[in-house]
A and B are shown apart, each in its own frame.
Chain A
Amino acid sequence: MTVLEIRDLSVSVTTEDGPKEILRGVNLTIRSGETHAIMGPNGSGKSTLAYSVAGHPKYHVTSGTVTLDGEDVLAMSVDERARAGLFLAMQYPVEVPGVTVSNFLRTAKTAIDGQAPKLRTWVKDVRVAMDELKMDPAFAERNVNEGFSGGEKKRHEVLQLELLRPKIAFLDETDSGLDVDALRVVSEGVNRAKAESDMGIALITHYTRILSYIKPDFVHVFVDGRIVESGGADLAHRLEAEGYDRFVSATA
């Protein structure tokens, strides 16, 4: 059983006009096997939360703590966090020219596990996972994210999720820009990964439609840098019907 605890987390970014506070005291606890949907309007700070947990250097933690099974996540480097079991499926995955997907996946798997995967089973695992995500095998020899369509990038993120088996994963708008078929394929990938490793998930999304594929245990409404309301799956339906207006005006 793994627990990620985010306590009173405040984060700012440096802008031309000085520091700008984006997160204002976020509290969130994610345990193994739990799926938390984090929903909120554009610009409310959802990606900032995910990047801050992953350790992106752009974001400065001004107060609060993040711990993974009691270990201080904020003291870890980006790669240490990943090796500790954290994963971020990015909203905008980065192109890495000259590095093939297959080389990248093997290097990442080796780093996470602390040893190279057994070649035969690894090649098969990759092939099966790609097949299930409806990715052309030719992708393995393409450069990471280079020239990938939006949907292909998202599949590639979920492919990594399946192969690297993190303990806690943030999925940042993994559903955006996907058509219905792709959404189903990607959601099934997430569900498979979860079933196999009992990971905890923070599913950042704008829309409720992914929630019919990936069932949340908890729904959090994220507005203006913090969680303003939490509830069960039914909260998502209310959000769909009512929008965020109620919360936005309440905090404005």
Chain B
Amino acid sequence: MPLLERSSRLTTPLPGASAHSHGMPFVPDQSRAERTSSYAVADFPIPHGREEEWRFTPVDRLGDLFRDEPTGLCLDWEEHLPAGVTISGITVEEWQRAGLPKPGDRAAAVAAAHSGGVGVIDIPAGTELTDPVRITLSGSEGQLVHGHLWLRVGDRARTTVVLGHTGHAAYSEVLSITAGDGADLTIVTIQEWDDSAIHLGEHDIVVGRDATVRHIAVTLGGQLVRLNTNATYAGPGGTFEGYGVYFADAGQHLEHRLFVDHDAPQCTSHVEYKGALQGESARSVWVGDVLIRARAEGTLTYEINRNLVLTEGAQADSVPNLEIETGQIRGAGHAAATGRFDDEQLFYLQARGIPEDEARRLVVRGFFADIIAKIPVAELQGHLTQAVERELARTAYAAPEK
């Protein structure tokens, strides 16, 4: 049994009702350690939406992605590979024998079973890349695609990988990431899908001994995007940092779930996600599960989610869960806050001569700035700052009465 189990659920169904609502503590029905993971699709019944891991997701829109059959389709693929980086293919069976984390839900099990093979991106041991690896995947005509990549970073390699997603697809992916001992990896996954796209992803990260993995998710486009990012440690001294930025506007459901499984001693995790919501029925979900197992002595972990609700009618759910099975840790904390972009802020800025649209931009840009600054590619920082500002300008928000 855990020595200490602290969880809470924070939800602001009606922005404005309360800026920082601390709801009743939410106690998960089971430990994260007990969740199913398996290669066999049959081990995961088709979700009906009341399961703990699906309770926020509009599963009725996902029937096609739960179906246990291949489509034989793939996304368009553009790559930029610095010298030394290679891409090859292995079979699903070979991947299964590699001993990597198994799929954790129905969609991931289907994607892994029917991907038709795993694309392996290899960054050999000791490689130090200054130029990022870039891969852009794009969909068309809403095609249902199962995809599976394995990003294999050798011992002491240092690199940044940028994975972009654009176009219109129903994409279900598994991304396996292994960082060797002492490796330093920044993986940026950018979702700039068309408004009608669906994307379910499971990113399974294994952090090597004394390695650092920075996973940065930027989700702006897509009608329904749900990313599960799971991190485990292959040895002591590893660091996982999970950063995220999302902007949900009318009709979008953007969901980010993280699970950091501290199973090795002296490891660190830091998770920080920020989201903005704008427009009727804009919806975001953030779930941050951290499990500190009995043998993970000396763990240091912190997770935080902040949401900025720009208009009425948007809803942000924020659920941090911390399970601690040893008292011998360096520290563990979590926080979540959902605040409204309030009219008083707008008034204050406008009262200093700043026009309304610029005032909104100022606040939203400032809100995201520290996370965007984590992306080690300057040109991408600029692109994403502009993309966020376009999001802001795009959806008409209800103008305040004059």
Contacts and interface: CB of A to CB of B under 8 A. Distances in A.
Interface string A44-64: 000000000011110000000
Interface stretch (A16-24, A106-114, A119-127, A195-203): A106-114
A79 interface: yes
A111 B367 contact: no
Interface residues of A, number: 31
Interface stretch (A94-102, A186-194, A208-216, A243-251): A94-102
A42 interface: no
Contacts of B366: 96-100, 103, 143
Contacts of B356: 77, 79
A88 interface: yes
A98 B369 contact: yes
With most chain A CB atoms within 10 A of its CB, the pick from B347, B353, B363 is B353
Given A78-B347, A94-B347, A103-B362, A108 B352 contact: yes
Given A57-B400, A99-B362, A108 B343 contact: no
Contacts of B353: 79, 82-83, 108, 111-112, 164
Nearest to B362: A99
A104 interface: yes
Contacts of B369: 98
A129 interface: no
Interface string B347-381: 11111111110110011011111000000000000
Contacts of A98: 363, 365-369
A143 B343 CA distance: 18
B51 interface: no
A160 B354 CA distance: 13
Contacts of B351: 54-55, 78-79, 81-82, 87-88, 90
Per DSSP, are chain B's interface residues mostly helix, strand or loop, or mixed?
helix
Per DSSP, are chain A's interface residues mostly helix, strand or loop, or mixed?
mixed
A79 B363 contact: no
Given A57-B401, A103-B362, A107-B358, A82 B344 contact: no
B358 A111 contact: yes
B328 interface: no
A25 interface: no
**Interface size for chain B: under 10, 10 to 19, 20 to 34, or 35 or more residues?**
20 to 34
Given A82-B353, A99-B366, A143-B366, A94 B348 contact: yes
Nearest to A96: B345
A33 interface: no
Given A57-B401, A143-B366, A79 B348 contact: no
Nearest to B359: A79
Contacts, number: 84
B402 interface: yes
A108 B402 CA distance: 22
B371 to A, nearest CB: 11
Contact of A82 (B343, B345, B350, B402): B350
Given A57-B400, A97-B367, A107 B347 contact: no
Interface string B329-351: 00000000001000111011111
A103 B363 CA distance: 11
A57 B356 CA distance: 13
Contacts of A160: 352
Interface string B104-147: 00000000000000000000000000000000000000000000
A88 B366 CA distance: 24
Given A57-B343, A97-B367, A78 B350 contact: yes
A108 B369 CA distance: 19
A87 B351 CA distance: 7
A122 to B, nearest CB: 15
A104 B361 CA distance: 12
A144 B345 CA distance: 10
With most chain B CB atoms within 10 A of its CB, the pick from A77, A87, A144, A164 is A144
Given A56-B347, A98-B363, A79 B354 contact: yes
A88 B402 CA distance: 19
Contacts of B363: 96-99
B362 A107 contact: yes
Contacts of A81: 351
A55 B349 CA distance: 12
Interface in A136-175: 143-144, 160, 164
Contact of B348 (A83, A93, A112): A93
Contacts of B352: 79, 82, 104, 108, 111-112, 160, 164
A63 to B, nearest CB: 18
12 contacts: A54-B351, A57-B401, A82-B352, A82-B353, A93-B348, A94-B347, A96-B345, A96-B362, A98-B363, A103-B362, A104-B362, A164-B352
Nearest 6 CB-CB pairings of A with B: A98-B366, A82-B353, A108-B352, A78-B350, A111-B353, A94-B348
Given A77-B356, A78-B351, A108-B353, 20 more contacts: A57-B347, A57-B400, A78-B347, A79-B353, A82-B353, A88-B351, A93-B348, A94-B347, A94-B348, A96-B345, A96-B362, A97-B367, A98-B366, A98-B367, A99-B362, A100-B366, A104-B362, A108-B354, A111-B355, A144-B348
